[in-house]
Amino acid sequence: MGEWFNDNASAIIAASAALSGAVIAAIFAFINNTQNIRAAKLQRSEQYDFEKWKANRQIYIEKGEEAIGLITSLLNAFLGVVNASTLDVVMTHEHGISDSVKNQLIDNKSGDNLNRLDTIIISYFPELIEHKSQMIKYYQCGIHSYIESAMGKREKSAVAIELLDIQSKLTESANLFKNKISEIISKHL
Question: How many Cβ atoms from other residues are within 10 Å of residue 53's Cβ?
Answer: 11
Q: What is the pLDDT of residue 92?
A: 66
pLDDT tens digit sequence for 141-183? 999 998 888 888 888 888 889 999 999 999 999 999 999 999 9
CA distances from 50 to 37, 45, 62, 87, 184 (A): 20, 9, 18, 55, 19
DSSP class of residue 1?
-
pTM of this prediction?
0.72
What is the per-residue pLDDT across 1-44, written as a single tens digit (0 to 9) for each?
567 666 666 777 777 777 788 788 888 888 888 888 888 888 88
Let me know the angle formed at the C-alpha of 47 by 187 and 39, rounded to the nearest 5 degrees.
135
The whole-angstrom separation of Cα 182 and Cα 186 is: 6
Task: Return d(Cα 40, Cα 33) in angstroms, integer.
Answer: 10
